[in-house]
Amino acid sequence: GISTKAFPFIFEPFVQDVHAVGFSGGGLGIGLTVVRELVEAHGGSVTGKSDGDGKGSEFVVKLPLVQD
């Protein structure tokens, strides 16, 4: 899970939670920023929640339904 200290910033560029399980410091911290920007570019939204360190995280992507 993502710590409560880091969670408000997880969609910002270059933010990484050093307390996350498996954190190696090797990433750029842009993954969730890219997800947010792609989803919003398609008229959608992305939200997340976490119960804290070691408890997992959940992300929900909502996209509008397009009818022909």
Ranges of each domain in the chain: 7-62
What does each of the 68 residues of the chain score in pLDDT, given as a tens digit? 788 888 888 888 887 776 555 555 566 678 889 999 999 999 999 999 988 877 888 999 999 998 77
Phi, psi of 21 (to 5 degrees): -60, 130
Domain 7-62 is of which CATH architecture? 2-Layer Sandwich (3.30)
In this predicted structure, what is the pLDDT of residue 23?
54
Rg of the chain in Å (alpha carbons) = 13
Global confidence as pTM = 0.73
Residue 21: CB atoms within 10 Å: 11
**What's the token pair of residue 45?**
């939204």
In this predicted structure, what is the pLDDT of residue 19?
54
Q: Tell me how far apart the alpha carbons of residues 30 and 35 are, in angstroms, rounded to a whole number.
A: 9
